[in-house]
C-alpha cells in the first residue's frame, strides 16, 4: 500500500482533488479556495509530483495509490487533465466511498495505436532531456508556452508551486503516466457507476470534442462548457467554474435518483 502526500483545507463533505502534470497539491489557487467554502478539500500530490515526487506509478498504479490514500469514507473525486485520467481510472474501479466524479479537461486516452506510440516517443524525448539538463525552470517555460495554456495569467500559472517538482519526478511521470503509455479506456466508461460532471473550456476544441464523446458513453453524466476559457478553465475562471460544480452537486443532492445522461449544457 502506497499513500500519496496530501494537503487539506476547508470544511464540509470530503472533496478529493487531483492536479495536472507539472502541478502539485498547492496549485489550485482561487478555485480551490472557493471549493473549500463548502467542502473539506483533500488535495493530492500525484506520483512524481510535490510530496509524492519519489513515488513511481503508471495511471492504474496512481489510481490504486489514490484510493489507498483516501480510504473508504464517502468522498467526491475531482481531477484535472492528468489528474482527471487518474480520477477516471479510480472511478472505474468502483470504490465504495465514491459518491460523484468531476473531470476537468479529461480524456480516456488515445484510441489509435499509431498516435499513442507517437505520443510515447515524444514524451520519452522530453523525459530524457529533463534528466540530462535537470532544468525544471526551462522545461516549465516551454510547457506553459503551449497554446493549451495561452489563457493563463502569470498568477494562474503558479510557477512557484510547479518549481517544487524535481526533474526526476517529472521525467518519471512523462514516461509512466502520459497518454502515450496509458491504455485507452474508450469503450469502458460504462464501468463508472456514479454521476459524473464533465467540465471543459470553450476555447479547448480538442477536449470539447472528447468531452462530447465521453458524455455519450457515460451512464449518468452532465457536460458543462465554460465560455471564453481554455484547457485550464478552472484556473482562468475559478469562481464561475467552482459555481458550476457547486450547483451540479446541489442539484444531485436535491434529486431522488439521477438516472440518465443529461443534455449537454453551456454555463
Model confidence over 223-266: pLDDT tens digits?
Answer: 999 999 999 999 999 999 999 999 999 999 874 344 334 433 43
**Is 47 contained in some domain?**
yes
Report the distance separating Cα 20 and Cα 176, nearest Å.
14
Query: Residue 1 — very low, low, confident or very high, per pLDDT cuts 50/70/90?
Result: low
Q: Which three cell numbers stand for residue 43?
A: 488535495
Report the distance separating Cα 142 and Cα 56, nearest Å.
24
pLDDT at 6: 98
Count of structural domains within the chain? 1
Q: Which three cell numbers stand for residue 194?
A: 456514479
Report the distance separating Cα 91 and Cα 220, nearest Å.
13
**Is 28 contained in some domain?**
yes
8 A C-beta contact, residue 67 and residue 43? no
**Is 140 contained in some domain?**
no
pLDDT at 260: 39
Spatial CB neighbours of 99, under 8 Å, sequence gap ≥ 6: 74, 75, 76, 194
* Residue tagged 502526500 (cell numbers): 5
**Is 231 contained in some domain?**
yes
**Is 250 contained in some domain?**
yes
Q: Given a cut of 90, is residue 212 above it in pLDDT?
A: yes
Q: At what angle do helices 113-133 and 167-177 cross, to 10 degrees?
A: 170
Q: Which three cell numbers stand for residue 118?
A: 507517437
**Is 154 contained in some domain?**
no
Domain of 108?
Answer: 6-113+178-266
pTM (2 d.p.): 0.94
Query: Residue 45 — very low, low, confident or very high, per pLDDT cuts 50/70/90?
Result: very high
Q: What is the CATH number of the domain that holds 261?
A: 3.40.50.1820
Amino acid at each position: 500500500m502506497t499513500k500519496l502526500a496530501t494537503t487539506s483545507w476547508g470544511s464540509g463533505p470530503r472533496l478529493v482533488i487531483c492536479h495536472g502534470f507539472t502541478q502539485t497539491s498547492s496549485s489550485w489557487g482561487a478555485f480551490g479556495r472557493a471549493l473549500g467554502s463548502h467542502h473539506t478539500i483533500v488535495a493530492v500530490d500525484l506520483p512524481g509530483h510535490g510530496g509524492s515526487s519519489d513515488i513511481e506509478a503508471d495511471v492504474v498504479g496512481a489510481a490504486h495509490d489514490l484510493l489507498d490514500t483516501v480510504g473508504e469514507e464517502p468522498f467526491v473525486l475531482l481531477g484535472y487533465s492528468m489528474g482527471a485520467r487518474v480520477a477516471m481510472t479510480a472511478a472505474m474501479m468502483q470504490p465504495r466511498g465514491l459518491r460523484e466524479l468531476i473531470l476537468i479537461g479529461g480524456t480516456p486516452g488515445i484510441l489509435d495505436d499509431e498516435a499513442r506510440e507517437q505520443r510515447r516517443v515524444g514524451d520519452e524525448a522530453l523525459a530524457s532531456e529533463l534528466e540530462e539538463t535537470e532544468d525544471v525552470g526551462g522545461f516549465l517555460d516551454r510547457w506553459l508556452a503551449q497554446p493549451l495554456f495561452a489563457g493563463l495569467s502569470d498568477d494562474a500559472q503558479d510557477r512557484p508551486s510547479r518549481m517544487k517538482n524535481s526533474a526526476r519526478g517529472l521525467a518519471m511521470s512523462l514516461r509512466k503516466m502520459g497518454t502515450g503509455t496509458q491504455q485507452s479506456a474508450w469503450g469502458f466508461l460504462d464501468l463508472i457507476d456514479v454521476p459524473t460532471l464533465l467540465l471543459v473550456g470553450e476555447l479547448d476544441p480538442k477536449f470539447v470534442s472528447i468531452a462530447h464523446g465521453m458524455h455519450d458513453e457515460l451512464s449518468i453524466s452532465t457536460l458543462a462548457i465554460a465560455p471564453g476559457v481554455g484547457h485550464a478553465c478552472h484556473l482562468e475562471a475559478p469562481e464561475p467554474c467552482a459555481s458550476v460544480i457547486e450547483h451540479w452537486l446541489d442539484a444531485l443532492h436535491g434529486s431522488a435518483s439521477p438516472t440518465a445522461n443529461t443534455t449537454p449544457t453551456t454555463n
